[in-house]
Amino acid sequence: MSTGNRERADLPDLRDVRVRGRSVRTWAIGSGAVVLAISAAFGGLEKAADETPQAAAGTAIDAGQFEVTIDRVVTTKDLEPLFRPDPGGALIAVVTKIELTDDMGTIPPSDLIRLIDVPGLDSTDAPLGTTNLRDQTQGPVLTPGQAEDVAYVWKLPKATELPKEVKLTVQHYEHIEESVLDHHEKWTPDKTAAESTVKVKDNTK
């Protein structure tokens, strides 16, 4: 048997090597715990860039297929003849400015805006509808290069329990050059572009 093999066989196990009275293995575990503790104090091991961006009202948000700016959120008793609440209820509308970044006209998707933690609504609830404030068109078609004021409208079950502030999300869409299924380019939702917390103006009175 070679001398080299004997030397390797005689090497001590790291668990038996001691530094300042503690084994190397213990030091390694302790160092790992310190790293985790420090990391947790600063938000964990995930990069801050992976967190959903926060956007204030009036800030332009890159949503891929669209540039979206949250203008305001209002509650109202009705928006006749376009939208009516249920008896005893109200409507809540998120007014946005949307500019299409694609070169093909399209209707603003219903999942572009979502309301979060609003009493009487689930965060997955689609809006009752959308309308262009310029001409009150429901489900308006956006054209490239022309920003439009579009309101997303939901029903609230009780006019006596109106939120004073809401959190909402803006969906981001990814452009796919060619779909595996139909071999056409398309835009598909891929992540949340931004979250926004907005004061609600009460127009029910």
Which contiguous run of DSSP H or E holds residue 94? Answer: strand 90-100
Q: Domain extents for the chain?
A: 59-202
What pLDDT, in 10s, does the model give residues 72-95?
999 999 999 999 999 999 999 999
Output b/e per residue, 40-73; b: 16+ Cβ within 10 A: eeeeeeeeeeeeeeebebeeebebbbbebbbbeb
**What is the predicted pLDDT for the residue at 85?**
96
Asked whether residue 40 carries a pLDDT value surpassing 90, the answer given is no
**What is the predicted pLDDT for the residue at 166?**
97
Confidence band, pLDDT 50/70/90 cuts, at residue 41: very low
**What is the predicted pLDDT for the residue at 205?**
87
Q: Tell me the CATH number for domain 59-202.
A: 2.60.40
Tokens (6 digits) for 52: 């959903």
**What is the predicted pLDDT for the residue at 50?**
63
Average pLDDT, the chain: 83
38-47, 63-72, 102-111, 137-146: lowest mean pLDDT where? 38-47
Confidence band, pLDDT 50/70/90 cuts, at residue 22: low
Asked whether residue 7 carries a pLDDT value surpassing 60, the answer given is no
**Cα-atom radius of gyration of the chain, to the nearest Å?**
28
1 DSSP assignment: -
Mean pLDDT of 173-178: 86
The residues facing 189 across adjacent strands are 173
Model pTM? 0.74
User: In this predicted model, which residue has the larger pLDDT, 78 or 34?
Assistant: 78
Q: How far is CA 150 from CA 35, 65, 72, in A?
A: 48, 15, 11
121 DSSP assignment: -
